Amino acid sequence: MKTTLAITPGEGWPPLSEVLEILAFRGGFNTSLVVAGTTLLGLAAGLIGVFALLRKRSLMTDALAHATLPGIGLAFLAATSLGFEGRSLPVLLAGAATSGVLGVLAIQALLRYTRLREDAAIGIVLSVFFGAGVVVLSYVQNPANVRASPAGLNHFIYGQTAALQPYDVAIMGAITLGAILATSLFLKEFALVCFNDAFAKVDGWPVSMIDLLMMALVVVVTVAGLQAVGLILVVAMLIIPPVTARLWTDRLRTLLIIAAIVGAASGYFGSVVSALLPRKPAGSVIVLTSGAIFAVSLVVAPSRGVVAGVIKRARLGLRIAGDHLLEEAHERAASSLSADTVREIARLRGWSAPIARGVCFWLSRAGFARRDSNGGIEVTERGSARGARVSRNHALWEQYLISYADVAPSHVDWSVDQVEHVLSDELIDDLERALAKRGVILPPAGTPT
């Protein structure tokens, strides 16, 4: 790894061959180790994060991560004073897990015995534990207090991916395997408790035990991620992949698979990029990578994406505008609307010229009308039937508002304009029945007026 190279514009990007080498795990043993470790971590965190998200515990996870810091410092102190090597990873991680769990218990206790709401309880525990951790670390780092060198403890805050050892990667592999195993074994139980814990309890499931198992998985993944991405950012690996996956699917199994893939991909590409660009800490690059995947998904995802939403709304707008034109033609008893009439309607409805053209285009594409050469439209048989129906819906709803809701006839028009396009057949039946009771009967659509 070129560790001393300063990045300047123009020479910042390494040659393509090096990029490919690292992508293919051939960029040297250390680099490959880091890439493998973060990929595995991303996969496990993405998978387990799904349950944290569905159980609405995402923020709790952040508190858990921050609350690990005092445990790290105290574990170091305890081990050193007992004459062990204070920097041994299992010792530090055990300390981290213990104080993280204590933090979560503190939140639960605050919720149970005080009137604090969850957001406030999480805020208090997160900051107080983190503050305590900073104090403990500064005490440890004073040579007057502790003789053993505490070098490296700070890395748990921001993470130091480059320090990953083969042993660490093996542990991450085991954790990933465990996460996959637990998810496939207990998917049904986890889903039940996340969706409806009261029902699960009545149904006889040990809800607190299942909750505890989910929380334990979160703790394990969080603690495993401390070394790689640091306690400030590890929560991102648990939250962002599931949220991204949720944009793409409505199915739980697919959600788990996509979240795992997004997590693994963020870990993989993030660490590759940080290996290529020295001095860029891997943890932050990994989080930025998953953030980028999220941002792209937010825009392009089908049905839940921003673009899909815009298209859907535009389509509805065109349909409603087209309905207005057809309704107008029906009420004028005309089989065609001249260009001037279309322009007149557009002016009344506040459509710009391109929108009016778009509406006519949509009508012709949907087979409701044909466009003539001057910009007018000729309504087809299907189009006039639709115009008649919309017009009748309008009349039905108007009558209903006047006779049942006591709305003044002069005030009904706006809401009618919105409602006439969305009435279902069932609603229309109900309307007709209600109006018939008051003696109002409208002829069926298509009857000449």
67 DSSP assignment: T
The helix/strand/coil state of 269 is helix
Instruction: Tell me phi and psi for residue 33, to 5 degrees.
Output: -60, -45
With binding defined as CB under 8 A, does residue 205 bind another protein?
yes
Paired tokens of 1: 């790894």
Interface region with another protein, contact rule CB under 8 A, candidates 147-155, 198-206, 357-365, 401-409: 198-206
- How many angstroms separate the Cα of 201 from the Cα of each of 111, 189, 190, 209? 20, 11, 13, 11
Q: Please select the residue that binds another protein; options are 117, 251, 313, 438, rule is CB under 8 A.
A: 251
Q: Please select the residue that binds another protein; options are 6, 16, 144, 198, rule is CB under 8 A.
A: 198
Nearest one of 139, 167, 165, 140 to 151, comparing CA atoms: 140
Which residue, 87 or 304, is less far from another protein as judged by CB?
304
Q: Please select the residue that binds another protein; options are 58, 68, 249, 297, rule is CB under 8 A.
A: 249
Interface region with another protein, contact rule CB under 8 A, candidates 99-107, 189-197, 271-279, 284-292: 189-197
With binding defined as CB under 8 A, does residue 201 bind another protein?
yes
The helix/strand/coil state of 376 is coil
Q: Please select the residue that binds another protein; options are 11, 119, 425, 426, rule is CB under 8 A.
A: 426
Cα separation, 34 vs 47, whole angstroms: 20
With binding defined as CB under 8 A, does residue 255 bind another protein?
yes
Considering only residues 368 to 387 of the shown chain, the ones binding another protein according to CB under 8 A are: none
Cα separation, 31 vs 37, whole angstroms: 10
Interface region with another protein, contact rule CB under 8 A, candidates 117-125, 164-172, 187-195, 319-327: 187-195
277 DSSP assignment: S
Nearest one of 64, 69, 1, 70 to 32, comparing CA atoms: 1
Interface region with another protein, contact rule CB under 8 A, candidates 21-29, 203-211, 369-377, 380-388: 203-211
* Helices 425-437, 381-404: inter-axial angle, 10-degree rounding: 50
In DSSP terms, 371 is beta-bridged to 377
Residues 280 and 158 sit within 8 Å (Cβ to Cβ): no
Q: Please select the residue that binds another protein; options are 69, 97, 194, 388, rule is CB under 8 A.
A: 194
Considering only residues 167 to 186 of the shown chain, the ones binding another protein according to CB under 8 A are: 185-186
Shortest distance in whole angstroms from residue 41 CB to another protein? 24
Q: Please select the residue that binds another protein; options are 54, 217, 232, 356, rule is CB under 8 A.
A: 54
Cα separation, 63 vs 58, whole angstroms: 9
With binding defined as CB under 8 A, does residue 209 bind another protein?
no
Question: In the sheet where 336-337 sits, what is the strand order?
Answer: 336-337, 377-379, 369-371
End-to-end CA distance of the chain: give it in Å, rounded.
84
Q: Please select the residue that binds another protein; options are 250, 354, 414, 447, rule is CB under 8 A.
A: 250
Cα separation, 411 vs 423, whole angstroms: 20
Which residue, 250 or 406, is less far from another protein as judged by CB?
250
Total number of residues binding another protein (CB under 8 A)?
A: 26
Which residue, 134 or 213, is less far from another protein as judged by CB?
213
With binding defined as CB under 8 A, does residue 196 bind another protein?
yes
Which residue, 252 or 442, is less far from another protein as judged by CB?
252
Cα separation, 416 vs 52, whole angstroms: 45
Beta-strand ranges (E) seen in 111-183 are: none
Q: Please select the residue that binds another protein; options are 57, 66, 155, 246, rule is CB under 8 A.
A: 246
Q: For residue 414, how many other CB atoms are within 10 A of its CB?
A: 8
With binding defined as CB under 8 A, does residue 425 bind another protein?
no
Nearest one of 179, 174, 200, 202 to 188, comparing CA atoms: 200
Shortest distance in whole angstroms from residue 71 CB to another protein? 32
With binding defined as CB under 8 A, does residue 199 bind another protein?
yes
Q: Please select the residue that binds another protein; options are 203, 340, 344, 413, rule is CB under 8 A.
A: 203
336 DSSP assignment: E
Which residue, 277 or 298, is less far from another protein as judged by CB?
298
With binding defined as CB under 8 A, does residue 252 bind another protein?
yes
**Where does this chain bind another protein (CB under 8 A)?**
54, 56, 185-186, 188-189, 191-192, 194-196, 198-199, 201-205, 246, 249-252, 255, 426, 430
